[in-house]
Amino acid sequence: MFASQFTFIVRRLWQMLPTMLGVVLLVFFLFNWVGGDPAYILAGKMANADSIANIRHQLGVDQPYYMQLWIFIKQILTFDFGLSWATGEPVSNIIATRLGPSLTVLIPLTVLETVIGIALALAVAFVRGSLTDRVVMIACTVGMSVSILVYIIVFQYGLAYKLGWFPVQGWGSGFWENLLRYSTLPIVIGLAVSIAPTLRLFRSFVLDEAGQDYVRTARAKGLGERRVMWVHVLRNAAIPIITYVMSNLPALLIGAFLLERFFGIPGIGREVILAVERSDFPVIKAITVYVAAATMLFNLLTDLMYQAVDPRVQLT
Amino acid sequence: MMAHASVGLWGLAWRRLRADRVAMASLAVVMAFLLMLVLSASGLIVADWEDEVGVNYAPPGFVGAGPVAAVVAPVAPLALPDNPFDPLADDIRALRTPVLDMYGVADPLADDLAALGASGVAAAGAGKRATLPFGADKWGHDIIKKTIKGGETSIVVGLVAAFIAVGLGTLFGALSGYCGGAVDDFFNWFYSIFTAIPSVLMILAVAAVLQQKGVVTIVLILGLTGWTGPYRLIRAEYIKHKAREYVLAADAIGASHWRRMFAHIFPNVSHVALVQMSILVVGFIKAEVILSFLGFGVPVGVVSWGSMLNEAQNELILGRWWQLTAAAIAMALLVTAFSLFTDALRDALDPKVK
Q: What DSSP string describes B14-30? A: HHHHHH-HHHHHHHHHH
Tell me the range of A31-40, A208-217, B203-212, B253-262 where mean pLDDT is highest.
Answer: B253-262
Per DSSP, the three-state class of B60 is: strand
Distance from CA of B193 to the nearest CA of A (A): 5
Q: Chain B neighbours among A 248-267 (CB < 8 Å)?
A: 250-251, 254-255, 257-258, 261
A272–B201 C-beta distance less than 8 A? yes
Higher-confidence residue: A60 or B57? B57
A279–B196 C-beta distance less than 8 A? no
Q: What is the pLDDT of residue A122?
A: 87
**Which residue stretches of chain B have pLDDT < 50?**
1-2, 67-74, 122, 353-354
**Chain B residues lying within 8 Å of A161, measured CB to CB:** 317
Q: What are the structural domain ranges in chain B? A: 9-45+142-353, 74-126
Tell me the pLDDT band of A67, cut-offs 50, 70 and 90: confident
Distance from CA of A255 to the nearest CA of B (A): 6
Look up the ipTM and state it: 0.86
B204–A276 C-beta distance less than 8 A? yes
Query: What are residue B100's DSSP bridge partners?
Result: B106
Q: What is the pLDDT of residue A159?
A: 86
What are the phi and psi torsion angles at A257 (to 5°)?
Answer: -60, -30
B324–A153 C-beta distance less than 8 A? yes
Distance from CA of B34 to the nearest CA of A (A): 18
CB B330 within 8 A of CB B36: no
In CATH terms, the superfamily for domain B9-45+142-353 is MetI-like (1.10.3720.10)
Higher-confidence residue: A212 or B34? B34
Distance from CA of B138 to the nearest CA of A (A): 18
Interface A-B, measured as beta-carbon pairs within 8 A, has a size of 125
- Does residue A161 sit at the B interface (CB-CB below 8 Å)? yes
Burial A107-127 (b: 16+ CB within 10 A, else e): ebbbebbbebbbebbbbbbbe
Distance from CA of B200 to the nearest CA of A (A): 6
Q: What is the pLDDT of residue B66?
A: 54
CB A113 within 8 A of CB A191: yes
Which residues, 6+ apart, have CB-to-CB distance to A236 below 8 Å?
A209, A212, A214, A310
B201–A150 C-beta distance less than 8 A? no
**Chain B residues lying within 8 Å of A277, measured CB to CB:** 295
pTM of the model: 0.83
> From CA B208, how far away is CA B194, in angstroms rounded?
17
Mean pLDDT of A173-183: 79
pLDDT, tens digit, 9 for 90 and up, residues A248-284: 888 888 778 888 888 888 888 898 999 888 888 889 9
For the cut 50, the answer to whether the pLDDT of residue A173 exceeds it is yes
B328–A150 C-beta distance less than 8 A? yes
B339–A144 C-beta distance less than 8 A? yes
Positive or negative CA dihedral for B181, B225, B337, A258? positive
Higher-confidence residue: B273 or A61? B273
> From CA B115, how far away is CA A277, in angstroms rounded?
43
